[in-house]
Amino acid sequence: MRETAARLDDPREAAAFASGFQLSAPPPDFVDDPYPYYRALREHDPVRRLADGSLFLTRFDDVSAVYRSPHASSDKKREFRPKFGDTPLYEHHTTSLVFNDPPLHTRVRRLILGAVNQRAIARMEAGVVALVDGLLDAMQDKGAFDLIDDFAAQIPVEVIGNLLAVPRADRGPLRGWSLAILAALEPVPTGQMLDTGNAAVREFSAYLDGLIADRRAHPLDPDEDVLTRLIQGEVGGERLGHAELVQNCIFLLNAGHETTTNLIGNGLDTLLSRPDELRRLREDPSLLNTAIEEMLRYESPLQFNNRCMTADCEIGGVPVAAGTLVTLCIGAANRDPSQFDDPERFDVGRKPNRHVAFGHGDHACAGMNVARMEGRIAIGRLVARFPGLQRDGAADRDRRLRFRGLRHLPARAA
């Protein structure tokens, strides 16, 4: 990685890389450390035209402008049809909240926000504390553990399972389904990824058919149970159709699981790599909220987002035709020196920190404050419980491009 960074410090090398960059064929070490490459693109070709005619944006101001633009559509039907064909993945990813525009996006988002408001999050906290403490007890008994499998990945699955009131005995397949469905969103998914993703949508949908039928017959408190809230809809308002209901329940698991697992895992990996910042956080727990924001900025769990421009416009001074697909590189925007002082430095006390890890505007992540709460409790209690926490082997990075996280992070409570 140091060789890559040094090579791209040469402006000629950096410019040559930027002029040939294709997201469909990134350099071999791109997943391990994409940030020198992002810097080269940001400095030499920040509105990069890719071979398929789409744009790849790496500057903070351009990414923010597209998030705010009334001409930026999240509807993915045109983009996903050739990628997925007439499959369960296509139905899911074109029906869920995140890949839709109003009116569906507005209706579903309003229903979800009502169930994850600050009052609801406050009610959830005691349960998350108990969950985290139980995981820490089990890890302490083991001595050596995996901070992903034994900790980070366990928390959001339980939280989303509770929000949808999924019986605990049924939660075993949830993480695997989520990983398989989201893997299909890679820039160039393999045939195996598509097959596994389609199977996961079919299996998850079949499970939800039964859960929804049971919840219709036995509704719970809509202030606490998101599924009951989605079934009942708004008072005097339109209700979701069955397919909309199923696909948005799948979306809730996927969105809540992936980003939070990666937030916790990436955050712990970064702290273990920077003992001074870990010590600073342990000695001053009041820094926990700013530390979570810095983890989101420094190693953004979601690296890319996408939009389709619906009108002729300009992005960063470049004319853009209606119909152009745009990839917003969140990971690059969150290390843009025009927005962040010394952006390559990890600082648990960084202020201000107006990152775009959760998006921006009408499509900002509806569950971002749930994720923040989970991260704050998980990391804060682990750091306090295990003052001698240290690595117990090399981290194993997930090889996906869109989602930045770890498959395994071995550690011990020394």
Percent of the chain with pLDDT over 90: 80
The pLDDT value recorded for residue 362 is 78
Phi, psi of 268 (to 5 degrees): -70, -40
Give the mean pLDDT of 323-350: 98
Percent of the chain with pLDDT over 70: 97
DSSP state of 302: B
What would the pLDDT profile of 105-138 be if each residue is shown by its tens digit? 887 888 777 777 888 888 899 999 999 999 999 9
Q: pTM for the complete prediction?
A: 0.94
- The fold of the 74-305+365-413 domain, in CATH, is Cytochrome p450 (1.10.630)
**Domain map of the chain by residue range?**
74-305+365-413
Answer whether the bond into residue 352 is a cis peptide, omega within 30°: yes
What would the pLDDT profile of 242-287 be if each residue is shown by its tens digit? 998 999 899 888 888 889 999 999 999 999 999 999 999 999 999 9
Buried residues in 145-179 as b, exposed as e (16+ CB within 10 A): bbbbebbbbbbbbbbbbbbbbbeeeebeebbebbb
Give the mean pLDDT of 1-25: 85
pLDDT band at 4 (very low <50, low <70, confident <90, very high): low
pLDDT band at 2 (very low <50, low <70, confident <90, very high): very low
What would the pLDDT profile of 179-228 be if each residue is shown by its tens digit? 999 999 999 999 999 999 999 999 999 999 999 999 999 999 988 888 99
Q: In angstroms, rounded to a whole number, what is the distance separating the alpha carbons of residues 298 and 295? A: 5
Give the mean pLDDT of 336-353: 98
